Amino acid sequence: EIVMMQSPATLSVSPGERATLSCRASHSVSSNLAWYQQKPGQPPRLLIYGASTRATGIPARFSGSGSGTEFTLTISSLQSEDFAVYYCQQYNNWLMYTFGQGTKLEIK
Amino acid sequence: EVQLVQSGAEVAKPGESLKISCKGYGYSFTSHWIGWVRQMPGKGLEWMGSISPGDSHTRYSPSLQGQVTISADKSISTAYLQWSSLRASDTAIYYCARQERDRDGYYFDYWGQGTLVTVSS
């Protein structure tokens, strides 16, 4: 099983500032990495796939980078609606998809 | 518009059986795998298994194999997740999600609204 580890568990950032979220895989997943945003009471929403490709309708302030085992989600200038929980997910091994434990992005 | 619409919240007793559903709209239902993802109270996301509605080929998480059954009826564009004997630990929100093909695998691009299953005596 590929284990996905996200850091930090909680990130406190002020509106307008940059947020950087990390995701590390226990084994290489190439670029088969997606990021999701989840707000309370809502289903997850796809932000990024292929490690760096924004999904349809996702604002340009969201960007993804990395390959292999190290990945980053960057939100360039935080808006109020961006405060949520973010999950990474590998789909390199499709016998066993795995998610990270999540990073909660909160208002500082 | 692509939509996945799930059945409503359920309350059941331990040992009971249950089947929840996920109906697809706005796309060719047989062209995309459907995955089921569990979210236990206050916790993260866990993939349970997936089905190809066109041929009902299924894959399960090794940790959940045998505990649930995933099926689909392509004639009504609906996927199902069922339990034969519920446990209190099955209490969770269950999401279905459409899978889209990338180069080497599939990510989840559209999600249902979730079905809350509460198992309590």
Taking only the tens place, the pLDDT of each residue in B58-80 is 999 998 888 999 999 999 999 99
Rounded CA-CA distance B55/B74 in Å is 9
Residue of B nearest to A6 (CA): B44
Judged by a CB distance cut-off of 8 A, whether residue A98 touches chain B is yes
pLDDT score, position A96: 83
* Cβ–Cβ below 8 Å for B102 and A98: no
Judged by a CB distance cut-off of 8 A, whether residue A55 touches chain B is yes
pLDDT score, position B65: 80
Rounded CA-CA distance B87/A83 in Å is 34
- Binned at pLDDT 50, 70 and 90, residue A93 comes out as confident
CA A52 to chain centre: 10
Facing residue for B104 by CB, picked from A30, A87, A102: A30
Half-sphere exposure of A59 (CA within 13 A, CB side): 10
* Cβ–Cβ below 8 Å for A96 and B62: yes
Say if residues B68 and B87 touch (Cβ distance below 8 Å).
no
Say if residues B64 and B48 touch (Cβ distance below 8 Å).
yes
pLDDT score, position A1: 87
Does residue B111 have a pLDDT over 90? yes
Average predicted confidence (pLDDT) for chain B: 96
Gap from A53 CA to chain B (nearest CA, Å): 11
Does residue A94 have a pLDDT over 80? no
Kindly report, residue by residue over B21-51, the tens digit of the pLDDT: 999 999 999 999 999 999 999 999 999 999 9
Facing residue for B107 by CB, picked from A91, A95, A100: A91
Average predicted confidence (pLDDT) for chain A: 96
Q: Which residues of A touch B114 (CB under 8 A)?
A: 43
Does residue B104 have a pLDDT over 90? no
How large is the average pLDDT for residues A20-42?
Answer: 97
pLDDT score, position B108: 97
Gap from B55 CA to chain A (nearest CA, Å): 17
Facing residue for B111 by CB, picked from A44, A92, A94: A44
Surface of B (18-77) touching A: CB under 8 A: 35, 37, 44-47, 59, 61-62
